[in-house]
Structure 1
């Protein structure tokens, strides 16, 4: 009987879900009678405008109707047109005409905020029927919600206090992957630890590995810091002597990953930091130590060769910083410039000892090309000429009107090549696309090779993996040229290395490993001069995960601490706000394992938003820069900005909105969704600028002299044109005047 009642209740719930009343939207469109123009791809095209319309960078000649409304849960939206009236109209051709169809095209989404779930519908109220265009005059929509499970992006962190909240914490930095050594001398003199009075069994290492943080909040990541397994030699006696040491595996700031789409290993470049960081902790509990790997049994496959890779990449040029008409932006950096010189030779750019010549190598390269016709680049390697895909043209390369159109196009090359020896040289060419001298130019992004090598010990440390072992329950790996000092760690999980059981036969070393998933190993000489990390020093205890309910966070750079404190006190006294002061380095320590990363700030704000009901204001106290790694040596990156566009100057801007978009569920767009909190920034560069900014804020808030009628005045500011004479003028002050006139008429 209970089962019957439960089944009936379930059916009733299903019925209610599908029987939910639709959201009704009715709208009358008031179209502008005055035809305005907008610059698209270097040409002026009609801009279709209506009252309340929202412009789109993706379809700049169109305006969109957007409506946001509450819904009961997460899910998908289905839009029905209950009634609509259209009228024909005349318009000139536009690149956006291909977007228009015979029926209205609806874009929908469901967003989450503290207030609940909200649906959003957007559409351009124009259709194309044959060669005729019609626009909507009035419409009635019925929008139905089809519930679905909430994505991971809406779930909050689950860990407790930060591991940095207690114990003695010391920070170290590495610049590449590999096994590092911490000696008695390093701990005592470089890190300034009281190592003589520390039980080494109480030492723990924390860090989250390499690579930048994923921008999509729904993608899995480590909350706080993970403990790493380490090897501590000589800890058994409870003291750390001059001959004792620590070995640990570290990843660099970048990260190699296997692409599921291409089957190639590709480098995920970190655009924010050149170093990776780890934290050595002294606490009451015993630390995590490297263990022996479990034995999987006899190998069904024997691996005597492995996949290797290397990449040539010069991160020295930001396209927009070098261009007089723009400012630096984006995450893509480039190297050699192909303009006066149209080719460069790269002698012995790669060296693969034990390369197997009979195995084809996979070469991938990328360049930014700038030409007013379609063009490509070429690589001459080992007697072969490889050519890239064609890159599209750009509307202007000679300076006219090009500050509103795409500046360059990316071209990639992906091909196989037979290499004849371990040392690899090649030439990259970007000939004049039209065969004559023109304004074209190009910049090298990277050249990358995937090769097969004999599994033979070379050098002090050797990373290896074998894709051909995938799918076998177990594989026997046979490493040649392996002397008695060679050790092997399984670093498939780089945070928890393990030691496989080794069998030695002369200079051949064998071991078995389970290979139903891809395994990664490192072989190393135990007697080598191991690399030593850089000592960053002791870190005070911190616990951002323990912040309680707060209204506002002032995130400041240490240079501006005193002024941040003064502003916090003023806001607390005047507005009664509960304010947390947080130094930006603390956010990096706790949310990105010490690395500079804008997403760490976003994740910190997201944690507060999900766990602290009152949190609604975030103030960034310090300027930011496109150059987070200070490649140009300009400084000024006190609190990083989020920037993504590297080719289109119109879209190349810093967006602090990124820090307030806390519940977006689009894995492809980091700036999607609605702002969940208010985000502001004081872009100060010096303590003097910081003091002036705080002085002005306090003055405006508290001095009676500021209580004038200016507070009821609106000022509109617009830029004048940046184009060359004879080209379309982008006089934005005219736009500002138009908005001011429309607002004046509506008041």
Structure 2
């Protein structure tokens, strides 16, 4: 199998239940038992196991030491929206003495309770919905950076805008939840609102806040060790916010500590002191939560200083160091302190083309050394003589034992063994005269105190059994908080309003859109659409408000999750729970905007593993949809996603507007068309033998879809079926590229690519590059683009936009949404997931469909693996795939019911088709009036791959036959009929053909689909009438106002209008295609058969509209040839001049009629179709006096404008004299501010 840039050999197992662990290089069977009766108390046992010997060579790149001696079967039960799924997990390969064997088959049984358990605790929860403390009153915000005792003076309050002279100080309150990161795990408590902190106000008893009065309180900074993320630094924020108010009654004050009354069982005059060094300077791989500090490249020896006053030198200092190395040679760090060797950290060499970008290393656990009051830790990096090697320090943590003595500074202290000791401890503090108080800060919201009346030595008692934390308060060392430019904050009340409607009554929420305030107007536009069109209750929630209530003002991904969880858990019933989350904003690996042009708009979950671009260093939006108690910290993903999540990659209002408009256009009446019947599957070729399964799996999937959803017209674009061409940059498939982008612009509901890829595009042959996504022009025909490949849409790295992002961002083309990847994914896992995803997306066996995001949620829950983490849904999570409704039925051929033997579709036979629109129960929709589009295909074609690279066997596969007719007919009262003549160029052998129907209802957003695979196509009509008359053709560029020789932009459309009594041939007979030749290049013809459509109810008339792209400036000639069904040709030419899109160019400036008396139009050609243009016409006398001015904004679909008219009167409405006048035409683009002008003459009679 392939994994990113790595090529791995592993044993192959068929089926979707096997998982390859890229970190352990092991295979696991994870069988979904499709049962909900198991509980976590069950155990599983396998019996009747049949094995087959397997050689060590067959293990390939599996690590043999990770292969167990037993299958080690286990049962895993997960819950999603209250529904349980059970998985049997075992090792399918085990050791057998000195050999190995694999399991061929087995039986299983479970023991323990089989009663279904319901993890859901949801009941009617209106009673617990409460208001935020921020809902009323005046609130002022400030912040701290480090933990400690802070002093707030009168002047600081005034600087916040808080007027202490108007407030009884006894009512002053401080709220805040500290600067630590919120827990990732759901089962670790964190407040749902701001908590009032106990504070101390000196001088408040007189009810006046005097100049000398002040507030003391303990504030927790952003400098706390976090076990989940293995860091001392808050990853998301540099500020810990607190809030001050005087709303309500008297505030919470710091009480005296209640000491135990018994005798002390332990006397202590020492404490455990924690110090660390950590700086977040670089993220090597641009992913994950781990940021590294100092770099050891030029300076390979660096020293870090720590101060431990009054160190107890008899107790060794504990040291923890984490470091990293990025080197293609073995390297190491040597660590010492004050000349004393502490230890070494060694690193393996990186492997070329590996997804691993660096290695982490630690000192052994419980490493210690003998310290002094001033400790210097020296790190020396050994690069093994390779200058390009680079080491990094992550953090240094020291734990030292100090004597409990005052130092003239505030300091924290604790006894680490208190948790494992019972009794009463007596702390004795020496040199304590300057220590005014000891605060117990174990509970930062409820601090308590012990006063010291100036004693140089004093003591206090505490109960053992838990580790309690204290701080010595020294009046000479209070910290001072900081403020931002805007301190007063607006009232808000998310918790009290999110589950309320406009009438303040309880209302369940279906869909939340989470975005910063700067993008909220566009989010509201999308929300309004879904409220009206999707019947969803939608709430737009500002990130800033979430942080204010749920994380004490600071950015934190868990605050977003907790807000979502609040809505989810307070639903009125389980079936009313929140369904969709839209993260309306781009994301980044950098939460703190250290990267230029950062895109951290709505933050994303990043894994702790940060050293590989593979599956183990993932990012995830699923985090926000994991609601159960045992979820949250995604270490090893195991399904259980409760809410469907999507992300719309927008960074500013303009981009947000474009992406929301695409969603609206996807539902616009203009988007309704037979392109919705098309489904394109693309497969990579076999660059190595392990790739062979790509095309076979994609072909098998295509055939399954054709069986399960036969109304789809399946287009298979398998690279190995095309001729591979050599180029200076490597092998290429130019014809496959053309077919892919032609299919995009013609339109397909889904594009599904399976194969290799990366940030820059798809396949090593570069069938898709970054610029391709930008240049697509398929407005109103936006597909879902599925790319279960490597890193195609790695959107969380703002330093390198990807091909997938450009495809999503295209405002008038590209994809409406994407099921895509942001990291490397193993081929084996990708193939399996692609099959599962398609099954759920298309709801095999049902006509009831889920949203695309819900499809991904279901698929991940059914197939949990490390691969699942790297697959994302980019787009609106409430978006339904625009699959037309069933059904359109063929009822008659040449007035013969299809229940009878019907005529074959013979060459040159005139065929009459009759049919009807019905509901799913085949009842005629007699009130249905609309238009029908029909495509009739010749017999299936058997094609073969070419084994271009010599790495895979030749594979035969079937594709749709040539389109022998494409036309449009009216539907009246649910019924339709039309006729056409079968082209001479059909293939003569008789076999089943295919009819594909699509209809859209008049003046309604409703469409239907249908098909028939029973018709027979082939044979010759021996009695066909003669026809030797060629078709008629008229050619234009962009629209019918174009005159040959006129100007166009660089990407114009060719319009051809054709007429023939028997119709136009689209059957792709040899030499009888509809063809356009550009500038005489006959070796590169443009085949236009698939672009031709008949007029409504008239198969003798039709037209085509074909896009040319990126033509060079200058004169061009198109030679056009078409054939009727009798193979009579017609040829015509058209010329046009391309003007570069950088300039605005005018030509053919005139007024018509000229001369005139009472009416004329001003005409001009330009190269800016579809752009709003500001046009000014000024009519002047020969001497230059302006007599009439007209300003008008116009937009043209083509290159010719004739929108401005004049009646020959001046600006005052008076008729001007006869004679010759000059007029100036000025045109300016609203989009680019480019301007052009021309002068011409006119004559008034």
Could you say which TM-score interval applies, normalised by the shorter chain? 0.7 to 0.9
| CA 1:316–1:285: 2 relative to 1, 3 Å | same
Instruction: Spell out, residue by residue over 1:506-531, the C-alpha distance to the aligned partner (whole angstroms, 9 max, x if none).
Output: x3343333344333222223355641
SS in 2 for 1:363: strand
TM-score by length of 2: 0.51
CA positional deviation for 1:710: 4.6
Distance in 2 between residues matched to 1:244 and 1:717, nearest whole Å: 75
Counterparts of 1:485 and 1:386, CA distance in 2: 36
Once residues 402 and 103 of structure 2 are traced to their aligned partners in structure 1, the CA distance between those partners, rounded to angstroms, is: 64
Aligned-partner Cα distance in 1 for 2:564–2:414 = 38
The aligned runs of 1:85-164 (5 Å cut-off) are 85-87=50-52, 91-101=58-68, 103-123=70-90, 125-130=92-97, 134-144=101-111, 146=113, 160-164=130-134
Residue of structure 2 in register with 1:234 after alignment? 203
TM alignment of 1:397-408, pairs within 5 A: 400-403=352-355, 405=356, 407-408=358-359
Helix, strand or coil at the partner of 2:41: strand
Q: Note if 1:567 corresponds to 2:518.
A: no
- Does 2:627 correspond to 1:662? yes
Q: CA deviation at 1:569?
A: 0.4
- Kept after mapping to 2: 8 A contact 1:209/1:276: yes
What displacement does 1:232 show? 2.1
Deviation at 1:248, TM superposition (A): 0.9
Which residue in the other structure is 1:171 paired with? 141
User: Does residue 185 of structure 2 align to residue 224 of structure 1?
Assistant: no
* Structure 1 position 534 matched with structure 2 position 457: no
1:614 aligns with 2:577: yes
Q: How far has the Cα of 1:111 moved from its partner?
A: 1.8
Report the CA distance between 1:56 and its aligned residue.
3.1
- The 8 Å contact of residues 369 and 411 in structure 1, kept in 2 or not, is answered as no
Give SS of 1:697's match: helix
Distance 1:203 1:729, change over 3 A: farther
Is the partner of 2:605 in helix, strand or coil? coil
> Quick check: which one's helix share is greater?
1
Pair 1:314-2:283 in alignment: no
1:205-226 CA deviation, whole Å, 9 max, x = no partner?
A: 2222342222221223333332
* Aligned equivalent of 1:677, options 643, 648, 654: 643
**Of residues 465, 469, 474 in structure 2, which corresponds to 1:520?**
469
Q: Do the aligned residues in 2 keep the contact of 1:79 with 1:143 (CA within 8 Å)?
A: yes
Q: How big is the shift at 1:495?
A: 1.6
Q: Which stretch shifts more, 658-667 or 306-315?
A: 658-667
Pairing partner for 2:666 from 679, 700, 704:
700
Taking structure 1 as reference, are residues 514 and 123 closer, same or farther at Cα in structure 2, changes over 3 Å only?
Answer: closer
For the aligned residue pairs, the C-alpha RMSD in angstroms reads 3.5
Aligned to 1:593: 552
Note the residue ranges of structure 1 that are not aligned, 5 or more in a row: 1-36, 260-265, 321-327, 722-727
Over 3 Å counting, the alpha-carbon distance change for 1:149 and 1:273 in structure 2 is: farther
The Cα of 1:461 is off from its aligned counterpart by: 1.6
- Give the equivalent residue in structure 1 for 2:436: 486
Per the alignment, residue 591 of structure 2 pairs with 628
Change (3 A) 1:281 1:518: same
Structure 1 residues 448, 483: closer, same or farther in 2, change over 3 A? same
Residues 73-95 of structure 1, C-alpha deviations (whole Å, 9 max, x = no match): 74233223354555556624332
Question: What secondary structure, in the 3-state scheme, does the structure 1 residue paired with 2:236 have?
Answer: coil
- TM alignment of 1:437-516, pairs within 5 A: 437=386, 440-467=389-416, 471=421, 473-483=423-433, 486-502=436-452, 504-505=454-455, 507-516=456-465
User: Residues 492, 132 of structure 1: CA spacing in aligned structure 2 closer, same or farther, 3 A cutoff?
Assistant: closer
Whole-angstrom distance in 1 between the partners of 2:183 and 2:5: 32
* Gap change, CA 1:577 and 1:231, over 3 Å in 2: same
Cα distance in structure 2, aligned partners of 1:574 and 1:717: 36
Q: Which SS does the other structure have where 1:94 is aligned?
A: coil
Whether the 8 Å contact between 2:439 and 2:448 is mirrored in structure 1 is yes
How far residue 706 of structure 1 moved from its aligned partner, in angstroms, is: 4.9
Equivalence for 2:602: 639
After superposition, give the CA deviation of every residue in 1:310-366 in whole Å (9 maximum; x if it has no partner).
11112101111xxxxxxx1111111122234332233xx112222233332222211
Pairwise CA distance, 1:45: 1.1
**Cα separation, 1, equivalents of 2:279 and 2:447:** 31
Number of residue-to-residue matches in the alignment: 678
Q: Which residue of 1 aligns with 2:177?
A: 208
| Residue aligned with 1:743, SS | helix
Contact 2:150 2:478 in 1 (8 A): no
Range with greater deviation from structure 2 (174-183 or 234-243): 234-243
Pairwise CA distance, 1:128:
4.9
Match in the other structure for 2:332: 376
TM-score under structure 1 length normalisation: 0.82
**Secondary structure at the counterpart of residue 50 of structure 1:** coil
The answer to whether the Cα contact below 8 Å between 1:254 and 1:267 also exists between their aligned partners in 2 is no
Does 93-102 or 690-699 show the bigger shift? 93-102
Are 2:623 and 2:632, in contact at CA under 8 Å, matched by a contact in 1?
Answer: no
Q: Secondary structure at the match of 1:196?
A: helix
* Cα distance in 2 between the residues matched to 1:44 and 1:73: 36
Determine which structure has greater relative contact order: mean sequence separation of CA pairs < 8 Å that are 6+ residues apart, divided by chain length: 1
Kindly provide the CA deviation profile for residues 537-580 of structure 1, in whole angstroms up to 9, marking residues without a partner as x.
Answer: 23333333333210000111111011011111011111010011
Matched residue of 1:319: which SS? coil
Find the aligned partners of 1:463 and 1:132 in 2 and give their Cα distance: 58
Mapped partners of 1:668, 1:695: distance in 2: 36
1:193 is aligned to 2:162: yes
Q: 1:344 to 1:530 in 2, by over 3 A?
A: closer
Distance 1:510 1:159 in 2: 45
Change (3 A) 1:458 1:102: closer
Larger radius of gyration: 2
Question: Relative to 1, partners in 2 of residues 1:373 and 1:528: Cα closer, same or farther, differing over 3 Å?
Answer: closer
For 2:565 and 2:194, locate their aligned partners in 1 and report how far apart those are by CA, in whole Å.
17
Secondary structure at 1:295 match in 2: coil
Structure 1 residues 503, 274: CA separation in 2 closer, same or farther (over 3 Å shift)? same
1:244 aligns with 2:196: no
Q: How far apart in 2 are the matches of 1:258 and 1:45?
A: 36
